Structure 1
Amino acid sequence: MAQPSKEPCKKEACDIQACLTKNNFIPQKCLKFIEALQSCCEHCDYKSTHCASVSGLLKQKPKQKAT
């Protein structure tokens, strides 16, 4: 019986890295791949070490001033 992969979202994480490398590390040009990783992480309940980077990628927006 085959065991599930310990790194179920590795392919998606590698796809993001390749896209970022080709696009001068501009996350907005790789949203399709970032969304694919997010979907994978949701599917595996974030039980992959590659899921730790998702929140950082999704939060790269201009910071708002604190009131």
Structure 2
Amino acid sequence: MSTLEKDVKFDPPCHPRACAIQACIQRNGYDESRCQKQVDALYECCNLFYQRNGDEASTVSCPKANLLRLKMRQRAQGQ
């Protein structure tokens, strides 16, 4: 089972990836720009969570589905 599979099945879903962001931010003096890899990993997990469970599903670790897609589009465009 891949790490993504494990994280999306975690309770709550994607929580290990959300914790990785917090740990990274703390390690880097609260400079979020140094933790983009962790943010991308969380969004990847959340995207899979919504694909499997529908846009009305929720988990404390992920933004709402429509906000997640907006954030992913913005990141893809370099904003």
Q: Same fold (TM over 0.5)?
A: yes
1:23 is aligned to 2:12: no
1:38 is aligned to 2:43: yes
Name structure 1 gaps, 5 residues minimum.
Answer: 60-67
Q: Do 1:41 and 1:47's aligned partners in 2 also have CA atoms closer than 8 Å? A: no
How does the TM-score come out when normalised to structure 1? 0.66
Identity of aligned residues (%): 30
Q: Distance in 2 between matches of 1:36 and 1:20?
A: 14
TM-aligned CA deviation for residue 5 of structure 1: 4.1
Runs of 4+ in 1 over 4 A off after TM superposition: none
Q: SS at the partner of 2:30?
A: coil
Q: Which is bigger in relative contact order (C-alpha 8 A, separation at least 6)?
A: 1
Matched length: 54
The structure having more radius of gyration, on CA atoms, is 1
Name structure 2 gaps, 5 residues minimum.
Answer: 1-8, 51-56, 75-79
CA RMSD of aligned residues (A): 2.5
Greater percentage in helix = 2
The equivalent of 1:52 in structure 2 is 63
